[in-house]
């Protein structure tokens, strides 16, 4: 096939290769900085997410080294507070919120047979807002002290409860950088969410009805719709915080009649649905990976879509289960206990559907499927400790303890990070044209799963024994020492696993096996494009007649649309 | 499977979808998304206002200083009607009538903004109420100010379109874009009804 549609002799292969000169490098850089292409922006989001995953991971490791033994002084108490604040903020806003749009940007237009997102320039704006929001947060290490002295980072916890954030208790600018950074990344998120919803609803190729939309796209639409009403309350609360800090306002100032509890409410009105904003795209990845590697169509497609919508709705009414110990009426407690337990129903439906998809399937345990299997088990366990914590009296006992930390890391690492890895192993061939090494992938998986369970299974126990979260160190006679040592060792094993992953990413980019267009024998439209896809995605607009267009193509004798 | 693309288009193009396939306008969907997101921001500020009604530990109180901005409100709310008339005009290609109604909308919005400015000037310089004076000041200026900032953004957008109209660049085919922009203005007006109710009726 000729490289050009114009009648000119020769092909690109015969053209002299361009040297890696300064001009070429500048041109290459320029093409990435000014890009409005959904694939390039998707890659930028993913690189950003992975970079901050490593940064947040280093922060976690420093925290774990500090907690390895009682009365250790590896880092100072001030640094410890900054580290757990930055770890939480980084992982939620710079890793969690960006991987969503990395996958969504790259895959949604390909999956729905579109040329690009609905608003390519808004897409670029959203990415760069998020990018500079992240820089703003980390700039606080240099500029946080303001004119008062040397720099420091925010140290108020990622939940930043009032009145600790008031000017009297937190002088300097570190908290302002934190608030501004989250406002800026928040605007980025809103822009990207608007784009995802508009793309999925308005840019579908012919025949791609809503009931034929890949579940990945469905779940990302639900995620983005939820993000629109989840991120904005945080933006509002941050504006109030800045008004309090800069203009002498009294929103959270109890001495002038304001209320610190109101901050907690506003924060968790954002904070709890945020968990579902983070986890739904992970479900979206599992929805694509599990059927392909079980060689079966997804079980209960409408139920999966409906359950996602149900999760989004229920998630809006559960926030105060973070606040049982702050004190509420018994009616309030009962409401939030029950609404929290209600989340178990749609998530249960999902887990049953994934198991039913695997049931009787011809399962191939390639690395993406290994990670998704790990996700299923761990997410179930995380859900069960979630149900335990939803019971108010149990929560009164264990609130602010390491049991809670273990629970939500089970969700965030055991659920979400496992799915992110599954997604990267699954779509890396599409993005780069090369397979990730399966050998390194298996090492990555097994080291990570072992490290994960050593760390987070055992982390429940010091919580039950009464070890509070966010403490700098502890006395030797508490009996938490050995457990903490093992937990930290598990953390180091996970770090090694992530290093294996990073090596795999780089090595496979240069030396990996050629992938071809459809290495996994999959069914959604992105696998019909070349790997990596050309800038225009599809030479002609695809037309689909079922949920699995590539299945129809490969099996004309038994197409899916016969059963719809 | 590099033949996949071609194979797909040849096979799939034969089978036309069985029913007509329409999708909503992406501009409208995006604007509705923005409105939903904005509503969430306003909800938080309105809740903060309602929660803090009467919680100020010291004066001045709303009853002492606030006057009900009836003229202002009539101006802003009637601008929803004028913009609706201008939407109708451009849909039928009546550019001149569109320009008139659109210009009137801008003027009404500007009067509202100026009225807010006069109100704030009185509150600050005569009544001594600033954002840091008391809890009422904090919640009042942030809620009304949040709304006013949306009016300002709306006015900038209205003015831009007005300039395009005056220079003869607006034609009938832009009707949809204009209607999408008008959605935002309707939203800003609708929010004022809530802000007005909360601040000047419930809170006073």
Cβ contacts below 8 Å, chain A against chain B, sum to 165
CA of B194, closest CA in chain A: separation in Å? 17
| Contacts for A272 with CB less than 8 Å, ≥ 6 apart | A315, A318, A319, A321, A322
pLDDT band at A13 (very low <50, low <70, confident <90, very high): low
- Cβ <8 Å between A517 and B33: no
**Contact A217/B at CB under 8 A:** no
Q: Does domain A36-563 have CATH number 3.30.70.141?
A: no
Integer distance in angstroms from the first to the last C-alpha of chain A?
37
Inter-chain CB proximity B44 and A206 less than 8 Å: no
> Cβ separation of B4 and A206 shorter than 8 Å?
no
- Nearest-CB residue to B30 (from A194, A516, A549): A194
Scan residues 461-520 of A and list those with Cβ closer than 8 Å to B.
Answer: 516-518
**Mean model confidence pLDDT for chain A:** 93
Cβ <8 Å between B5 and A538:
yes
Residue B165 · residue B13 · CB < 8 Å: no
Number of Cβ atoms within 10 Å of the Cβ of A23:
10
Cβ contact B26–A540 (<8 Å): no
- A562 touches B: beta carbon within 8 Å: no
Domain ranges of chain A: 36-563
Can you give the pLDDT at residue A2?
A: 43
Q: What's the predicted TM-score (pTM) here?
A: 0.93
- Upper half-sphere CA count for residue A387 (Cβ side, 13 Å): 12
Distance between CA B98 and CA A38 in Å, rounded? 37
Residue A269: phi, psi to the nearest 5? -60, -35
**Any CB–CB contact under 8 A between A143 and chain B?**
no
Summarised one tens digit per residue, pLDDT across range B89-114 is 999 999 999 999 999 999 999 999 99
Report ipTM for this prediction: 0.92
> pLDDT tens digits for A433-489?
999 999 999 999 999 999 999 999 999 999 999 999 999 999 999 999 999 999 999
Q: Which residue is closest to B138 within chain A, CA to CA?
A: A249
Please give the C-alpha separations between residue A548 and each of A175, A289, A538, B7, in angstroms, as whole numbers.
Answer: 49, 14, 17, 15
Name the residue among A119, A228, A517 with its Cβ closest to that of B2.
A517
Q: Tell me if the bond preceding A123 is cis, omega within 30° of 0.
A: no
Interface membership of A544 toward B (CB under 8 Å): yes
What per-residue confidence (pLDDT) applies to B2? 42
Question: pLDDT class for A14, splitting at 50, 70, 90?
Answer: low
Give whichever of A5-14, A162-171, B195-204 has the largest mean pLDDT.
B195-204
Asked whether the beta carbons of residue B26 and residue A190 sit closer than 8 angstroms, the reply is no
Q: Which domains does chain B have, with CATH numbers?
A: 26-202 (1.20.120.80)
Contact check, Cβ <8 Å, B132/A119: no
Contact criterion met (CB < 8 Å) for A119 and B41: no
pLDDT above 80 (res B5): no
- In chain A, residues with a C-beta closer than 8 Å to the C-beta of B23 are 201-204
Judge: A202–B9 Cβ closer than 8 Å, yes or no. Answer: no
Q: What residues in A contact B25, CB-CB < 8 Å?
A: 202
Contact A543 B12 (CB under 8 A): yes
Q: Say yes or no for a CB contact (<8 Å) between A248 and B132.
A: yes
Is B197 within 8 Å of B77 (Cβ atoms)?
no
**Which of B5, B17, B51 minimises the CB distance to A543?**
B17
């Amino acid at each position: 096939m000729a490289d050009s549609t114009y009648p000119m002799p020769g092909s690109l292969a015969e053209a002299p290769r361009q040297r890696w000169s300064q001009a070429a490098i500048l041109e290459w850089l320029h093409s990435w900085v000014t890009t409005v292409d959904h694939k390039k922006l998707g890659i930028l989001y993913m690189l950003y997410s992975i970079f901050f995953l490593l940064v947040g991971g280093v922060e976690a490791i420093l925290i774990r080294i500090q907690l390895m033994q009682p009365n250790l002084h590896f880092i100072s108490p001030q640094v410890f507070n900054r580290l757990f604040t930055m770890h939480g903020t980084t992982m939620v806003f710079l890793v969690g919120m960006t991987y969503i749009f990395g996958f969504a940007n790259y895959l949604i237009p390909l999956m729905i047979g579109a040329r690009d997102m609905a608003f390519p320039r808004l897409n670029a704006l959203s990415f760069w807002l998020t990018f500079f929001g992240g820089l703003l947060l980390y700039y606080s290490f240099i500029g946080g002290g303001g004119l008062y002295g040397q720099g420091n980072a925010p140290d108020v916890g990622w939940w930043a409860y009032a009145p600790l954030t008031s000017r009297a208790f937190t002088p300097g600018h570190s908290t302002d950088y934190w608030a501004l950074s989250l406002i800026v990344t928040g605007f980025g998120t809103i822009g990207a969410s608007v784009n995802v919803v508009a793309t999925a609803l308005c840019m579908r190729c012919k025949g791609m009805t809503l009931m034929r939309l890949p579940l990945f796209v469905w779940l990302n639409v639900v995620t983005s719709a939820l993000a629109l009403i989840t991120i904005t309350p945080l933006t509002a609360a941050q504006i109030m915080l800045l008004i309090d800090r800069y203009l002498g306002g009294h929103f959270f100032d109890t001495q002038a009649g304001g209320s610190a509890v109101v901050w907690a409410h506003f924060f968790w009105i954002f904070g709890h649905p945020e968990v579902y904003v983070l986890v739904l795209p992970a479900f979206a990845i599992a929805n694509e990976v599990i059927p392909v590697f079980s060689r079966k169509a997804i079980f209960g497609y409408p139920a999966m879509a409906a359950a996602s919508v149900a999760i989004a709705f229920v998630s809006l009414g559960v926030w105060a289960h973070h606040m049982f110990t702050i004190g509420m009426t018994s009616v309030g407690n009962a409401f939030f206990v029950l609404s929290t337990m209600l989340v178990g129903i749609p998530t249960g439906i999902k887990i049953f559907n994934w198991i039913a998809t695997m049931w009787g399937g011809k399962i191939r345990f390639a690395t993406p499927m290994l990670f998704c299997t790990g996700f299923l088990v761990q997410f179930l366990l995380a859900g069960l400790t979630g149900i335990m914590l939803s019971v108010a009296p149990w929560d009164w006992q264990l609130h602010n303890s390491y049991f809670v930390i273990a629970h939500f890391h089970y969700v965030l690492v055991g659920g979400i990070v496992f799915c992110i890895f599954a997604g990267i192993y699954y779509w890396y061939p599409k993005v780069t044209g090369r397979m990730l090494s399966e050998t390194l992938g298996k090492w990555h998986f097994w080291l990570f799963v072992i490290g994960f369970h050593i760390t987070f299974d055992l982390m429940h126990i010091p919580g039950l024994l009464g070890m509070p979260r966010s403490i700098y160190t502890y006395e030797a006679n508490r009996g938490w020492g050995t457990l903490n040592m093992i937990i930290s060792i598990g953390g180091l094993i996970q770090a090694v696993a992530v290093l294996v992953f990073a090596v795999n990413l780089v090595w496979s980019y240069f030396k990996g096996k050629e992938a071809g267009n459809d290495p996994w024998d999959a069914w959604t439209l992105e696998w019909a494009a070349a790997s990596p896809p050309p800038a225009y995605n599809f030479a002609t607009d695809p037309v689909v007649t079922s949920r699995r267009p590539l299945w129809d193509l490969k099996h004309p004798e038994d197409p899916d649309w016969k059963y719809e | 499977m590099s033949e996949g693309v071609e194979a797909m288009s040849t096979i799939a193009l034969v089978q036309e979808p069985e029913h007509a396939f329409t999708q909503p306008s992406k501009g409208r969907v995006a604007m509705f998304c923005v409105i939903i997101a904005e509503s969430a921001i306003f909800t938080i500020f309105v809740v903060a206002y309602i929660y803090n009604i009467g919680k100020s530990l010291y004066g001045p109180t709303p009853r002492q200083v606030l006057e009900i901005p009836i003229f202002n409100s009539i101006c802003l709310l009637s601008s929803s009607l004028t913009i609706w008339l201008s939407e109708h005009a451009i849909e039928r290609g009546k550019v001149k009538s569109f320009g008139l109604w659109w210009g009137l909308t801008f003027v009404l919005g500007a009067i509202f903004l100026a009225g807010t400015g006069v109100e704030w000037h009185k509150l600050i310089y005569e009544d001594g109420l600033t954002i840091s004076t008391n809890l009422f000041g904090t919640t009042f200026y942030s809620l009304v100010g949040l709304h006013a900032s949306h009016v300002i953004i709306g006015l900038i957008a209205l003015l831009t379109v007005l300039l395009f109209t005056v220079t003869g660049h607006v034609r009938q085919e832009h009707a949809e874009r204009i209607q999408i922009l008008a959605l935002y203005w309707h939203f800003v007006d609708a929010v004022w009804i809530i802000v007005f109710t909360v601040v000047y009726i419930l809170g006073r």
